[in-house]
Structure 1
Amino acid sequence: MEIFPTQYSTLSSKALNVKLRESYGLDDTTCRLLIRNVSDTYVIENVTEKYIFKIYRDAHRKLEEIKGEVELLTILFEKGAKVSRPISDMNGGILQVFNAAEGTRYGVLFSWAQGSVIYAMNDRQLETVGREMAAIHNITSSIELHHYREVYSVDTTIVNPLKILEPAFVGLEEEYAYLKQTAREVIERYKQFDGNFGYGYCHFDFLPKNFHFTVDNEITFFDFDFAGKGLLAYDITSFFIHYFLEFTYGKISEREARDAFHIFVDSYRKIRPLSNEEIAAIPYLGFGFWVFYFGFQYENFDDWSNLFWGPKFMKDRVALIKKWMNTAHILLP
C-alpha cells in the first residue's frame, strides 16, 4: 500500500535513539521528544552525556539553509563564541538524513546548553549577555557564509509578511489598515537609518528563552534557526522586546525595564560600538520583528500548532504591536 501524502510527520523517539547510538557511538542513551514546533527537538542522554537533536521541516528550512546554520555555528564556536555547537558523527558527517513519510528530512546533533533559562536576570547576567552578544556580532559582522541564510530587509520583515497576512484579516479590516499605515511610516524611518549601522549575521530571536545560564553565570546561546543577514540591531531589539513584554504584563516597572536594558547596552559597548541612532531605531526595527513573526505564524501554523490562531489572537497581536509602537521609546535608556 502506498503511503498517503503526508505534510508533517513525527519521527519515533525509540527509532531515533537506535539510529543516533549507531551514528554517534553513544551508549545506554534514552531519547525523548522535547518539542514539536518550528522544528522537532529531541533530548538524547545517558548518565554522563546530554545532547539536543533537531530535525528540520522541509517547508521551513531547505538543505542549503540548514548547511548555512551549521556553518555559522561552527565558525562561532571555533572563534570562541558561547554557543551550542553542531556535533559530527563517527564518519565526520554533520547532517543525518531520514526518509520520512513526507520525504527527506535532515537532522543535526547539538551540544547541550548547560544551565537554564533566566528571565529575571541580575546585573552580572545582563553584563554577560551584553558582552557575549557583542562578541558574537564581532564575528558575524566580518564573515561571509558559503551557504544561504535569510536576508532581513524591509521586504522580508514587513512588505512580504503583510502580503501573506492580508487574506487572514478578512473581517478585521481596521486592524489590517493599522498595520499597513504603520508599515508605511516605519519604512520611511528605515530610509533615514544611518548607513553606519552594524550589519552581518544576526540571531533574530535573542530572547532569554534562547540562552541558558549556569549557576556560575556561564552563558550558552542556542536556537539559531532564524539566523540571517541583516542589521545587527535586530538582535539588540529582540532582547529589548523581552523587557517591553515584562513591563507590559506588569512583571517589572518602567524604571526596572530601562535600568536593565541600560546595563546590557553598557556592557555591549565595552566590546563593540553601538550608536545612539541604532538604539533610537529599536521601535521601528521591532515593528519589523513583530510583523515578520506574525506572517510566519500564519504561513506555518498548519504544520505545528493552530490552536492559538483566530480572530482573537490576531486582534490581540495587533493591539500588542500598537502598544509597542506607543511605548517602546519610553522604555529606552
Structure 2
Amino acid sequence: MALRNGGIRLNQLFPLEVSVLSSDALSTHLSNEYFSRTQLKCRLFSRGLHDVYKIWAGDQTYFYKVYRQGVRSKAEIQSELDLLLHLKAADLAVNLPVGKHDGTYISEFHTANGVRYGVLYTSVGMREFSHIEETPESNEKLGAYIASVHTAWDRCDAALNRWDLDASTFLDRSLEAARQFSEVHDFDLDFLEEVGKQVKNKLKGLPTETPQFGICHGDFYSGNVRVDAEHNPILIDFDFCGKGWRAYDISMYAYPFGMGSDVANFPQRERRKEQFLNGYNKVRAMSEAEVDSIALFIPFRRIFNIGTLYITYLTNTWGHSTVTWNVDSDVDMLKKWVDLNPIFS
C-alpha cells in the first residue's frame, strides 16, 4: 500500500500549474513533424503568457509557440490560424503558420498538467518596428497597413471561434480577478472599479457594426510589428485576435498609455496619432466620433492588463512579487492618465 505524505500518495505526481517543454525533446518532435533529415537547433526563446522557442533549421529560422495549458482551446487556435491564412490570401505580409507533413498545423503535447498545443511560425522581417527611426512616413505606412488588415478581415466569411474584445472580456472578468487579488494585496481597487464603470458606460454608445467593429489583432503595439528591408510593416503574434472596436486596435500604438501619463510627451503622442490616422484614413476613413473614442480604450486595455494579464495569466510565470509591482505601477500610472486625460466629463 502506498504511503501518504501530507495527503499526497508518494506514488502520485504532484500537481503542476505550469510546465516547460524540453527543448531537446521538442527538437526531435519538430524534426519528425516538419523537417525530416534536417539538422535542428531548438532553444527556449521567451516565457510569457505562452512559451516561444527559436528554431534553426538549415539556413532558415522559425519560432515555435507552445500555448499555455487551458488558455486557448484547439478550436480557438485554429481560428487564429485561419485568420492569418486569410491575410496571406489577401497578399498582406504577416507571420504565418507552417504546415506539418500531414497538412495540419497544431500539435498536441500531453504533459503532467494537461494538454498543451504547439504551432510553428515563420520568422519575418529584418528588425522590430521600434528599432527604426519613427518618422511621419513610417507612421503613415503603418496606419495604412493596419487599415488594410482590418478591411481584409471584413471580407473574411470563415467561422470565428475567438473571444470578443468587449466590456465582458476586458472589464468584467478583469475586475473580478482584481477583487480576488485585493484579498492578498492592498491596492486602490475602488479607483479601478470606478474607472471600469465609467469606461463601460462610454462603451454603450459605440457602434458594434462593421467597419467600426470587427476582427482585430488585439495586441497591436510596436513590439508586435516587424519591418522588412524597405521598412514595410509586418504584424506578428495574433494570440489576442477577436472581434472588437477598431479604435481599440489602433489605440495602443497611435495613442500609447505611457505618452498619455506625462504632459511632456503629449506633443509627440498627437503627432504620432495624426500621422498614423493620415495613413489609416487613406484606406478606411474613420468618423470624427470614432477617432474621439480612441482615448477611451487606454483605460479599457489597462484594466485588462491588470486583472487578466498580470493577475490571472502571469502570476504563475512571474511570481507574486513581480505581479504586485506591475499592478501597483499600472494603477499609479492610470491615476496620472485619468487626471491628465479627462475623458469621462
**TM superposition score normalised by structure 2:** 0.87
Select which of 101, 108, 113 maps to 2:124. Answer: 113
Q: Is the 8 A contact 1:283 1:324 kept in 2?
A: no
Structure 2 spans left out of the alignment, 5+ residues:
1-10
Superposition pairs for residues 47-58 of structure 1, below 5 Å? 47-58=58-69
Q: Is the 8 A contact 2:26 2:42 kept in 1?
A: yes
Structure 1 residues 171 and 81, CA gap change in structure 2 (3 angstroms): same
Partner Cα distance (1:16, 1:200) in 2: 36
**Structure 2 equivalent of residue 10 of structure 1:** 20
Q: Is the 8 A contact 1:35 1:41 kept in 2?
A: yes
What is the count of residue pairs matched by the alignment?
A: 327
Cα deviations by residue, 1:6-43 (Å, 9 ceiling, x for unpaired): 22111111111121112112512211111111111011
Q: Is the 8 A contact 1:141 1:198 kept in 2?
A: no
Select which of 254, 260, 277 maps to 2:272. Answer: 260
Cα deviations by residue, 1:86-131 (Å, 9 ceiling, x for unpaired): 1101111111121222122111111112222232522222122111
Cα deviations by residue, 1:130-180 (Å, 9 ceiling, x for unpaired): 111000000222324424101122222112211121122248777211122
Q: Which residue identity lines up with residue 195 of structure 2 in the other structure?
A: T
Q: Which residue identity lines up with residue 16 of structure 1 in the other structure?
A: L
| RMSD, aligned CA | 2.3
Q: Is the 8 A contact 1:142 1:200 kept in 2?
A: no
**Structure 2 equivalent of residue 227 of structure 1:** 241
SS in 1 for 2:65: strand
**Structure 1 equivalent of residue 77 of structure 2:** 66
Superposition pairs for residues 1-333 of structure 1, below 5 Å? 2-25=12-35, 27-119=38-130, 120-170=133-183, 175-194=188-207, 198-242=212-256, 244-246=257-259, 248=261, 253-296=265-308, 297-306=310-319, 307-310=321-324, 312-328=325-341
SS in 2 for 1:321: helix
Q: CA offset at residue 302 of structure 1?
A: 3.1
SS in 1 for 2:45: strand
SS in 1 for 2:43: strand
Q: Which residue identity lines up with residue 42 of structure 2 in the other structure?
A: C
The percent identity for this pair of structures is 25
SS in 1 for 2:80: helix
Partner Cα distance (1:67, 1:99) in 2: 18
Q: CA offset at residue 273 of structure 1?
A: 1.7
Q: Which residue identity lines up with residue 161 of structure 1 in the other structure?
A: S
SS in 2 for 1:7: coil
Structure 1 residues 121 and 79, CA gap change in structure 2 (3 angstroms): same
Q: Which has the larger radius of gyration?
A: 2
**Structure 1 equivalent of residue 3 of structure 2:** none
Structure 1 residues 99 and 121, CA gap change in structure 2 (3 angstroms): same
Q: Which residue identity lines up with residue 162 of structure 1 in the other structure?
A: L
Q: Is the 8 A contact 1:141 1:200 kept in 2?
A: yes
Structure 1 residues 173 and 99, CA gap change in structure 2 (3 angstroms): closer
Partner Cα distance (1:171, 1:290) in 2: 21
**TM superposition score normalised by structure 1:** 0.90
Partner Cα distance (1:117, 1:202) in 2: 21
Q: Is the 8 A contact 2:255 2:294 kept in 1?
A: no
Structure 1 spans left out of the alignment, 5+ residues:
none
